[in-house]
Structure 1
Amino acid sequence: MHTHKTDSPPLESFFHIVRSIPGAAREVWRGKQAAWQASNQLRHPLRDLAWQSDVAQSLQEEVERLLPGTESAATRHARSAIVCEEDCIILEEIHRLTAEHNRSNITRTAAYLECYEQYPELHWALLAHMVSRNGGYHMTDLQSGLMHNLQSQTDREHMYRMLERCNALIFQDAYPQLLLYMNSRRLGRSCFHLLPHFHISGFMTAFWERFWLERCSSLLSVALIINEQNYIESRVVQHPYFKKEVLSKPAFHLHNLAGLNHIVFPLGRGKGLTGRVIEHFGKLDERIMFGKSLYAMLFGTQQVLTQVLEFARSVPHRGSRAEYWPGLFTAHEEHAGKNEFYSKELLELEWLPEGQRLYSPELLAVWQDTPYEPITRQDWLQSRDCLGHLTAPRRPWLFEMSHEHRYGLLKTAAAHDAKTLLH
């Protein structure tokens, strides 16, 4: 984003930033109070997540029999080799559809919602749709009006590759699973013996087979959360390239400091936000707990589910934050503000006037599809460590995030302004 020099000398701009600190502190306090009140109002009526502890325990025992070195582990691949002609057609079609919809964050996000609309018992598909929306927002943030001067172009590209890689890998693993269920419904028979043909972890087979019989949506959702986070652990989070070029860089921690580790679920266009903050992306256990918390918030509170679903259906995902806060953001650079400094205006004004809003581009306007090296095919299920997460999801008490998200935006603006002054 190109900016024009303002008439304010750098020293005066610096004092503007300093004078904004007490106001920002007051905003934090007011925001916490408002978030508690709004969360309390949204919490009712509650929805029953229908968690079945006995079934979870039974499935845990089945998974333990799949661990390396057991007889079940040795035989499961042999069983998967038996396919009929109809199965071969299904495999070919799922491979084709997965490649077609895995082109970009935009196509993946739409595909998840389509799965949920066809089969609403697939709770995870709606959760994945909303989290994937956030993935798109985080990608475009890197090229936004506030973030453009906080990292070099090289660092932005590394960060984008990590975000895109996570998004693409999870889709590649999860979407065939969803399509196998949809084919099972269409044919009236289980197709889950085909899971290994997509290199799906043996962890998921028992959950899908039980889901086919009992439709235990919350249990399947938790299993998918555990599966997908383990899937990206070695392929992204512990990958030497991403550890060196992203996770160890100061710029990555700047994103957390600025509140860009927020996952927000809009309650409507220009309305409130619900969501959670993930503090330590690099920790597998925390990512799983975070996913379970988001799931419980979304499907455990009726108002949140109703309003989030209405937003998802009515606002197509393009990757711009203008989709949910058009009073602060614009997807069109020519309509964005040309200021060098933003923190003062964001502190003083709830919404920015037309022509002075923050530039949040659409994804396909700033990033192109990215090729990757071949994906390793090993099964992440090597120990029973994951089984401790097979517990009922717990609804968070504080989940209304409008003020906290806006405060994160203010911190980003302050960092942008300070960087501008230093250069």
Structure 2
Amino acid sequence: MKVIKKQLKKAVSQRTVRDDLTPEEENIIQIIRAITRKQNQNNVTRTQAYFDFYQEHPEIHWALLAHLVSRNAGWNMTDLKGEYLPKLLSRKEQTDFFLFLERGNWLIFQDAYPQLLLYEESKKRGRPLFHLLSSMEVSKFMEPFWNQFWTESTKEELTIALIINEQQYIEGRVIQNKQYKDTVLNTIMFRLQDLFEFNHILLPYTDSVQKNTKLIGGTVHHFSSVKDRINLGKRLYSLLFSGQNRLTQTIEWTKSHPHTGSRKDFWPQLFNNVKETAPGQMHELQSTPCSLKHEAQRIYSPTLSATWKDWNHIDAESGDWYKNKKMIHFVKKPVKNWGGEIQESYCKSIEEMEIAASTKALFPKKDES
């Protein structure tokens, strides 16, 4: 860590982008960018790309964590066209929220996936190529961590560095972006959080005894706080990799449940990607969601392809977020022991969402634009 700290201190004032790339290096970068563009089509393609990479390179823990968190982004996207939120949000608000989620998901992938591919290329060639990160517009914060990982296999430090980097990367581009602050964070997100716990991050796994899907995870209470988002990422990472048995169960669940964006992926007893209620009718829970009844009518949770078209993004805003070495304390600060119990809380939020939607349905919407 002393070496990294020294390198990061030097990197603050150092211009690291090279202008003397060889044709071979230029070709590597162009191929990586082309692959990234292809896989960055939508939430489903991104999410699958993360998991495919993890299966090939399980030493990169962040890829599995990113896959699972990206699944949650997809579920939040389809919730906007699901059973309840269309009754709470206008069409414009649904689109604004989708664009907020989609932009963040797209940005993180286009910054992180090239790093993964560069590591893969380094393995193929048997030598580190991380000096090319800056030429791919990756923050100079990351190069020391990749180089250390190459020589010392510091899996935890690399994972936490990637968590920090990606949350800082979207901080100015999305979270503090006036457009998204005005349309989502200061209005829609505030309203939803006021009604119920909304920002659940669910990590499904298959219980080896009961053979059903169980949920662990966490909640962001202050989504606009980069510190809170980083700390949640660290806790989720610790939770995911803290025990080999549950990690194996999580990987097996992921292999057998391809991501579609529908919450049916993890709870088909409660959710369906086909609407079961009659037109104009409200879904009514027959029991608490955690006491599932197979014969009960299920909550509508559509697939991503059925709800949102692929979005054409403008290029990512330029600039390196890393301005001072203080971020290093996020890497060193230990994660407190945390059980990750979330299933009861998530079930409660579904009940609260149904109550809110039912109440709103009693009054006509003023804005459907």
Question: Shorter-chain-normalised TM-score: which range?
Answer: over 0.9
Q: Is the 8 A contact 2:273 2:300 kept in 1?
A: yes
Match for residue 45 of structure 2 among 97, 104, 107? 107
Find the counterpart in structure 2 of residue 65 from structure 1: 10
Q: 1:204 deviation in Å?
A: 0.4
Q: Report the equivalent of 1:119.
A: 57
Q: Give secondary structure in 1 for the equivalent of 2:202.
A: strand
Q: Contact 1:297–1:395 at 8 Å: present in 2 too? A: no
Amino acid in the other structure paired with 1:245: T
TM-score, length-scaled by structure 2: 0.92
Q: CA deviation at 1:370?
A: 1.4
**1:18 equivalent in structure 2:** none
Per-residue deviation at 1:270?
A: 4.5
What does 1:171-190 correspond to in 2, within 5 Å? 171-190=109-128
- 2:249 maps to 307
RMSD: 1.9
CA distance in 2, matches of 1:126, 1:393: 21
Q: Which runs of 4+ in 1 moved over 3 A?
A: 250-253, 335-344, 346-349, 352-355
* CA-CA distance at 1:301 after TM superposition: 2.2
Indicate which of 102, 115, 128 corresponds to 1:164.
Answer: 102
User: Distance in 2 between the 1:348 and 1:391 partners?
Assistant: 39
> Which of 270, 273, 276 is 2:215 aligned to?
273
Work out whether residues 337 and 357 of structure 1, in 8 Å CA contact, stay in contact via their aligned partners in 2: no
Higher helix share: 1
Partner residue of 1:141? Answer: 79
Q: Tell me if structure 2 keeps the 8 A contact 1:132–1:167.
A: yes
Q: Is the 8 A contact 2:93 2:188 kept in 1?
A: no
CA deviation map 1:1-27 (0-9, x unaligned): xxxxxxxxxxxxxxxxxxxxxxxxxxx
Which position in structure 2 is the counterpart of 1:373? Answer: 314
Identity of aligned residues (%): 37
Q: Residues of 2 paired with 1:310 and 1:230: CA distance? A: 31
Alignment CA distance shift 1:362-1:284 (3 Å):
same
Q: Which residue of 2 aligns with 1:318?
A: 260
**Alignment coverage as a number of residue pairs:** 360
Q: Secondary structure at the match of 1:378?
A: coil
2:328 to 380, 384, 387: 387
Q: Report the Cα distance in structure 2 between the residues aligned to 1:337 and 1:285, rounded to whole angstroms.
A: 44
Q: Provide the residue aligned with 1:214 in structure 2.
A: 152
Classify 1:155/1:186 alpha carbon distance in 2 versus 1 (closer, same or farther; 3 Å): same
Aligned-partner residue type, residue 62 of structure 1: Q
1:204·1:223 contact (CA, 8 Å) conserved in 2? Answer: yes
1:260 aligns with 2:194: no
Q: Distance in 2 between matches of 1:137 and 1:357?
A: 16
1:11-90 to 2 correspondences below 5 Å = 56-68=1-13, 73-74=14-15, 76-77=16-17, 80-90=18-28
Moved more, 413-422 or 319-328: 413-422
Report the Cα distance in structure 1 between the residues aligned to 2:68 and 2:257, rounded to whole angstroms: 12
State the partner residue of 1:41.
none
Q: For residue 265 of structure 1, give the secondary structure of its aligned residue in structure 2.
A: strand
Cα deviation, residue 354, structure 1: 4.8
Q: Which has the higher contact order (CA 8 A, sep 6+)?
A: 1
Correspondence for 2:174: 236
TM-fit CA distance, 1:373: 2.8
Show CA shifts across 1:342-382 (max 9, x none): 45524388225557211000011000111233321100011
Matched-pair contact (CA < 8 Å) for 1:336–1:355? no
Deviates more, 1:376-385 or 1:210-219: 376-385
Tell me, yes or no, if structure 1 residue 291 matches structure 2 residue 233. Answer: yes
Deviations 1:94-147 (A, max 9, x none): 011000000000000011011111111100000000000000000001110121
Distance 1:65 1:374, change over 3 A: same
Give the 3 Å change call, closer, same or farther, for CA 63–355 of structure 1 in structure 2: same
Q: 1:248 aligns with which of 159, 180, 186?
A: 186
